[in-house]
Amino acid sequence: MSDDTYKNQIGWNFDNSYFRLPGYFYTKMHPIPVSDPHVVIINQKLANKLGLMLEKPSKKELAQLFSGNALPKGSEPLAQAYAGHQFGHFTLLGDGRAHLIGEHVTSDGTRVDIQFKGSGKTPYAKRGDGRAALGPMLREYIISEAMHNLGIPTTRSLAVVTTGEKVYRESMLQGAILTRVASSHMRVGTFQYLATQKDGKGLKQLADYAIDRHYPELKGSEQPYLELIKAVMNRQIDLLVNWLRVGFIHGVMNTDNMAISGETIDYGPCAFLDSYDPETVFSSIDQMKRYAYANQPHITQWNIARFAESLMPLLHKDIEQAAALAEEVIQSFNAPFQTAWLSMMRRKLGFFGEDKADELLIADLLKWMKHHHADYTNTFRDLISETIPKGDYYVTEDFQDWWERWLIRLKQNSESTESAFSLMRASNPAFIPRNHQVEKALFAAEEQSDFSKLHKLLEVLSEPYVDKPEYKEFQKPPKPEERVYQTFCGT
Ligand code: AMP
Ligand code: MG
């Protein structure tokens, strides 16, 4: 292709509804061009799903496109304004290093945000450089795609390019830009931001926009904004229970990192449990263990409380009555969460129907796992058998007792044991992005420009519920010397 027509030939179909919202929702601005972009990875499957024809442009042209050096027709780039409680403290934030380049509408009418992360400083950058390093962007790529394949709502990753420029963190690193695809980027913090604006007009506009985009069934209801809080809470409960199911620890559940759509967003120092311990924290910046594995339900409820608070002006003219309405929703969190959690754990253990002894069986297994530092993922997968699992730590009296109780409960099922095992196979992944494997793939990519480990890992994680003996290595927990104790944002 001679000129720059390639920009418009890959099939973008932009319709930028957020851009049509009032100016105080965002700052219009272009990504800052980079000197020498190169494609590191492109998600061909996702591109196909979005109807993008990435075969047409050359690699060089793709690098221009996915660095923001060349913007396609119809793109109206902006940086979103938002606020957020970061580790409990309220701050005004906004996209400091991200640009929403537009909303792409696929042929079946699905609308997705296309956002660059690491694409240069915006007015919200504060002291940040507006850039991102290759490691963290590839980390988000790996883990978000793994989450998608695990069947968990998440933003996705379409491409990573290096910028040809250095970024300075603890050391000098390669700069990179991630193209993120999300059903939207509205966060709890977006509502908090608009609630701080004087006239409150923007708040109603945002709430109506969120209902239109994500909860159209609420339109016309008597109390749409109260219903919105409940609906967001329900999606967050579903998300949270999925996280707990696979042992995911988000790591930075600040209110600016909680999406209204119910997708997992902002992969920073997130990680998966190896050995089971509910108090596990990986993030180096989470000294108080605020975002520990088992604290995630409490934090989800806390964040929903902040969401409800920000919507209070829309709930009732009388502030006390508004507070009472909000409070009622927040207090209703536990019952549906407990129900969803219990039913998820039942599926993990292959139980159909309910038995009053189930809760004790679940609690006893978790207690045993904690005591023996059992691997969270492998334990559930090992149970899928009519014979007692093999392995050193199963040869304990307490496990044998528990296993016999479990087997009796399994036989009480209304469905066959084979059906129970199918249910377990679908609820318990064989493959998760184990921290030590992720770190190995990132090290090879960053330090040795060797992307083979990254591709291999992505392949392993592509069908996480299917047994694949050839990938046995990836099921192993870390050896003591491989164990990752801390993860870093690397922002
Ligand atoms: P995060 O911890 O990634 O959710 O980011 C929190 C806030 O810091 C967001 O407003 C980001 O846009 C901003 N931020 C993070 N890293 C940078 C950076 N390198 N330059 C500018 N802003 C940043
Ligand atoms: Mg964030």
Average pLDDT for 170-195: 97
Cα(6)–Cα(9) distance, integer angstroms: 5
Span 76-85, average pLDDT: 98
- Please compute the mean of the pLDDT values over residues 224-229 and round it to a whole number: 98
What's the mean pLDDT in 363-383?
Answer: 97
Does the pLDDT at position 1 exceed 60? no
Ligand 2 centre to CA of 434 (Å) is 23
Task: Give ion ligand 2 contacts, CB < 5 A.
Answer: 257, 266
Q: From the alpha carbon of 95, which atom of ligand 1 is closest?
A: 12
Q: What is the mean pLDDT of residues 399-405?
A: 97
Choosing from 29, 82, 91, 97 the residue with most ligand 1 atoms within 8 A of its CB, the one to mutate for a pocket test is 97
Query: Which residues have CB under 6 Å of ligand 1?
Result: 93-98, 124-125, 128-131, 252, 256-257, 266, 268, 489, 491
User: Residue 297 pLDDT more than 70?
Assistant: yes
Side chain identity at residue 233, one-letter code: M
Q: What is the mean pLDDT of residues 176-184?
A: 98
User: What is the average pLDDT across 291-302?
Assistant: 98
Q: What is the pLDDT of residue 7?
A: 80
The separation between CA 357 and the C-alpha centre of its own chain, rounded to angstroms, equals 33
Closest ligand to residue 251's CA: 1
- What angle separates helix 358-372 from helix 334-348, to the nearest 10 degrees? 70
Residue ranges of domains in the chain: 3-182, 341-427
Residues 6+ apart with CB under 8 A from 17: 103, 111, 209, 213
- pLDDT value for 412: 94
**What's the whole-model pTM score?**
0.97
**Could you tell me if 286 and 490 are in contact, meaning their C-beta atoms sit under 8 angstroms apart?**
no
Of all residues in the chain, what percent carry a pLDDT higher than 70? Answer: 99
Q: How close is the Cα of 258 to the center of ligand 2, in Å?
A: 8
Summarize the confidence of residues 372-377 as an average pLDDT.
Answer: 96
CA 121 – ligand 1 centroid, Å: 10
* Cα separation, 47 vs 45, whole angstroms: 5
> Residues 464-486: what's their mean pLDDT?
94
Residue 410 has pLDDT above 80, yes or no: yes
Give 49's contacts (C-beta < 8 A, 6+ positions apart).
106
> Residue 2: pLDDT above 60?
no
Nearest CA to ligand 1 atom 22: 96
Nearest ligand, CA of residue 124? 1
The identity of residue 64, as a single letter, is Q
Region label for 78, one of left (φ > 0), alpha (ψ between -120 and 50) or beta (otherwise): beta
C-alpha–C-alpha distance, residues 335 and 388, integer Å: 34
Q: How confident is the model at residue 485 (pLDDT cuts 50, 70, 90)?
A: confident
The average pLDDT across 279-304 equals 95
**Banded model confidence at residue 489, pLDDT cuts 50, 70, 90:** low
Q: For residue 200, what pLDDT is reported?
A: 77
Kindly give the number of the ligand 1 atom that is closest to the alpha carbon of 256: 4
| pLDDT tens per residue across span 109-125 | 999 999 999 999 999 99
Rounded distance between C-alpha atoms, residue 334 and residue 321, angstroms: 22
Lowest-pLDDT choice from 38-42, 200-204, 312-316: 200-204
Q: Which of 255-264, 279-288, 358-367 is predicted least confidently?
A: 279-288
Question: To test ligand 1's pocket by mutation, which of 92, 119, 255, 491 has the most ligand atoms within 8 angstroms of CB?
Answer: 491
130 has a pLDDT exceeding 80? yes
The residue whose CA has the least distance to atom 13 of ligand 1 is 96
- Distance between Cα 491 and ligand 1 center (Å): 7
- The Cβ-side half-sphere exposure at 417, using a 13 Å CA radius, reads 11
Position 52, amino acid: L
By CB atoms closer than 10 A (0-12, 13-18, 19+), residue 146 is buried
Which pLDDT belongs to residue 4?
75
pLDDT of residue 381: 98
Could you count the other beta carbons within 10 Å of the beta carbon of residue 124? 20
Tell me, what's the pLDDT at 22?
94
Active site residues: 256
> How high is the pLDDT of residue 490?
63
Please compute the mean of the pLDDT values over residues 299-307 and round it to a whole number: 98
Burial (CB < 10 A; 0-12, 13-18, 19+), residue 105, is: middle
HEC sequence for the chain: CCCCHHHHCCCCCECCCHHHCCHHHEEECCCCCCCCCEEEEECHHHHHHHCCCCCCCCHHHHHHHCCCCCCCCCCCCEEECCEEEECCEEEECCCCCEEEEEEEECCCCCEEEEEEECCCCCCCCCCCCCCEEHHHHHHHHHHHHHHHHCCCCECEEEEEEEEEEEEECCCEEEEEEEEEEECCCCEHHHHHHHHHCCCCHHHHHHHHHHHHHHCHHHCCCCCHHHHHHHHHHHHHHHHHHHHHHHCEECCCCCHHHCECCCCECCCCCCEECCECCCCCCCECCCCCCCCCHHHHHHHHHHHHHHHHHHHHHHHCCCHHHHHHHHHHHHHCCHHHHHHHHHHHHHHHCCCCCCCCCHHHHHHHHHHHHHHHCCEHHHHHHHCCCCCCCCCHHHCCHHHHHHHHHHHHHHHCCCCCHHHHHHHHHHHCCCCCCCHHHHHHHHHHHHHHCCCHHHHHHHHHCCCCCCCCHHHHHHHCCCCHHHCCCCECCCC
Residue 491: what pLDDT? 64
Query: Cα(428) to centroid of ligand 1, in Å?
Result: 34
Looking from the CA of residue 254, the nearest atom of ligand 1 is 4
